Every structure is written in structure tokens, then in C-alpha cells.
Amino acid sequence: MNPSPLHLIDAGLLANLPAADVPTRWQPMLAATADLARRCLMQPEPPLKRPWINIGPGYCYGPAFGHFDLIHMVFDLVGDERGIATDQMENLLDLQRPDGSIPFLWMGDNPARKWLTPGLSVEQRLAAGMSWPPLWPAGIEACWHAGAGDALLARAAAALDRTLGWWDANRRLVDGGYFYADILAKGQWESGMDQCVRLADPPPRPMACIDACSHVLWCRRFAAAWARRLGRDDALHRQAAADLAGLISSQLFSEETGWFHDAWSVNDPAHRPLAWEGIWALVAGAATPAQAQAAIDRNLLEPKRFFTLHPIATVAHEDPRFTLRMMHGPAWNSFTLWAVEGCLAVSRPDAARAILGAALDATSTVHARTGTLWEFYHPLGGDPTELMRKPGQKKSVPCHDYYGHNPLRAMARIWSTLGGGRS
């Protein structure tokens, strides 16, 4: 098990690279990404004390800040604009509640620009005990590797202790696993995976979710690494990480599929979707060497499963649950980047390079045809307007001009650093 908590944010992988290091055909798409980043930079306004990054002017519900979108944008920004990237992480830490959770701020079309959380007021969501995927330590790590300094790290370490306290108090199971509230109340989507196929038929009681377990494990690894850097004892975090990694590898992996699943479906073939969220076990370092290779060779690089024309499909193409709807099959470039991290975490740069090259090619082709960057993409190379967002909502197709799920400059830098188009 590799002790490094995050591989793709190493200074060499997210450093700024000359334009000549990537194919000419990608240049218009990358220039559009840079322009979109500039358009998304907003002036400070309460409760944000620093300039902040909007997830995209084309987002159908109006300006928003945070969620895992923010981490993708920080990855994209940190090579060129470390100061802006660091400001985003400081803004996020400013929002942490006393209980350790951090809200997603959404203004919608409110003319008074009062910050709200989707669907609920901040007070309502706090009372409901809701949070979001704790991926923010990865953004801190990216900024630290780029030179943000130990003051940010010390602040983040204290915040992460509070976050882990929240998870242990609110989402920990007796067996040591963790879950998202999605399985308790439909329509909340605490996991960030709105209307995903994994939770179409949730268990009757809280059970371990592959993404929640992996996210908490990853947080433990960050907490241990930061403690060592700051000269503190990391023993508690290391032991907690080892215990959780053991649970994931022993209880949430299917030898039959070569993939990771939730506790209620891992041994139930009839209700066991091949959903992309299993990648989090690789990202967090829970997979054994054999499990990791099976996950990559039998799944991530398999065209019948996740390696579609535009990888990574959010549901395996051969799975009967695959459809062209939001997180039921379409490809999201941000999720593709997490799959790349999963490959790098288990020393498979060949797989990472292949996935990146295919995704960037497909995105640049669509950009050349449509002139915009989309929230998510057709996994088989079709037009994004052929895809469905959420049934019954005012926006029926993916949002355009969407930055939060398009860390394309980061993807191109990693591709180039890994050897680019070499055979």
C-alpha cells in the first residue's frame, strides 16, 4: 500500500508546461478552459473574504461555490495561478461549521444574492446533519506542493480533525465502515452522485458505501501525512487508515467483477451495478496489488466497461443499467481525472496516459464542434445535447460553459508529464 496520499498533485504533474508539450489540436480547448477560468473569477462577497471561483456561468441554477467542483478547479488553476487556487481553499476553510462539515454555497437566481445550500437553507441543512464528500484535503495538498506553505497546512490539519470528528459522530457504522445519507433519504445526494444507479434500490438500514469509506480513508491518510510534516504524532490516523483499508479490501471487492462495490450489493449479482465510484478504493490506497490490477485491466481499460470512446463512463457500457443520463453512463472529465489518480496510485502510468489521451481527444473534438465546455459528455462520442440531465428539471441537457468538471489543463499537463503520446 503506497503511503503517498495523492499522486497527481505532485509538483511535477501539475506544473505549468509549455504549449508545445501537448498536441496542437488540443490548444483551442485549453485556451477556452483558461478563458472560462477568468470568467469564473468573482470579487469577494460575504461570506467569502477573497476572490472566489464560480463553477461556471452556464450552470443552470446560477452562481455556486464549493462542493467537489472546487477541488477540480483548484487542480486546474494551481499550476498557473497558485495564489488564486490557495484563496479558494482558504475561502472553503472559512465556511467550516463548528461541527466540522462544510457547505456547498449556491445563490441561484436570488437577486439579493443571499447564499443558500441547494434545496435547503444553511440552517435547515445543518439541522438535517448533511455534509458533502470530504475531498477538500486534496486541494490543500495541491496548493502545499505548489508552495503555499505550512501555515495553510496547519490550519487545514485542524479543520480535517474536525471533519473526521463529524464523520465518526454521524456516519460511522459499528463495523467501522461509513455511509452517505443518500441511503436514508432519497433526493438529498450527500454523496454528490445525484440519482446514481448504486442507490436506486438502497438498503433498509445504513450499510458501508464504497465512496464514503474510501473518502474517509483518504482523509485519514492526509491527516497522517500532514501530522508528520508538522512534527506531530500520526499513529492514530495511521491505525485508523489501516483498519479502514482492510475493511474495504476484504469486504467491498468482488472477485467476479474485479471491481469495488457497496456492502449491500457486492455479493448480490442481480443488484450489483458496475458503477465508476468503485475507483475511490484505488485512489484511497485500499486495493491490494491484485485487486488494483484487476480493477484497471478488467474494468478501466476495458471498452465494454469503462473505457468508452470518451472515458470514463460513469456506468459500465455493458451494464444493463447504462443509459445516456447524467451519472448513469455519460463521462465527466473530473471523474476521469480521479480514475487517472487511481491508476497513478497503483503505479500504472500507462493506463493513466491512455485514459487521459482518449478523454482529451474526445473533449477537443466536441469543443471544436460546439464551441463550449460541457458539464458532462457523451461516452460514445455523440453530441452532448443527446444526453439527459435530471428528469422533470428545468434543464434537460448538460450545462454548457461549465468549469467545475473540466480540469482540462491539469489533465493535459499530467498527460505530457507521463510521456504524452509516446508508444
What is the spatial distance between Cα 54 and Cα 182, in angstroms, rounded to a whole number? 26
Positions in the chain short of pLDDT 50: 1-5, 111-123, 125-128, 423
Neighbours of 88 (CB within 10 A): 27
Which residue type is seen at 373?
L
Q: What is the pLDDT of residue 185?
A: 72
Neighbours of 147 (CB within 10 A): 10
Q: What is the pLDDT of residue 421?
A: 63
Q: What is the pLDDT of residue 19?
A: 60
Residue 37's nearest CA partner among 72, 1, 10 is: 72
Q: What is the pLDDT of residue 374?
A: 98
**CB distance 355 to 340 below 8 Å:** yes
Q: Which residues pair with 106 in a beta bridge?
A: 64, 116
**CB distance 399 to 56 below 8 Å:** yes
Sign of CA dihedral 375, 380, 383, 389: negative
pTM of the model: 0.94
For strands 253-254 and 105-106, give the pairing: unpaired
**CB distance 178 to 213 below 8 Å:** yes
**CB distance 104 to 135 below 8 Å:** no
For cell 457486492, the residue is: 266
Domain ranges for the chain: 43-173
What is the spatial distance between Cα 189 and Cα 184, in angstroms, rounded to a whole number? 10
Which residue type is seen at 346?
V
Q: What is the dihedral of CA 316, 319, 325, 328, to 10 degrees?
A: -60
Pull the grid cell for residue 317. 457500457
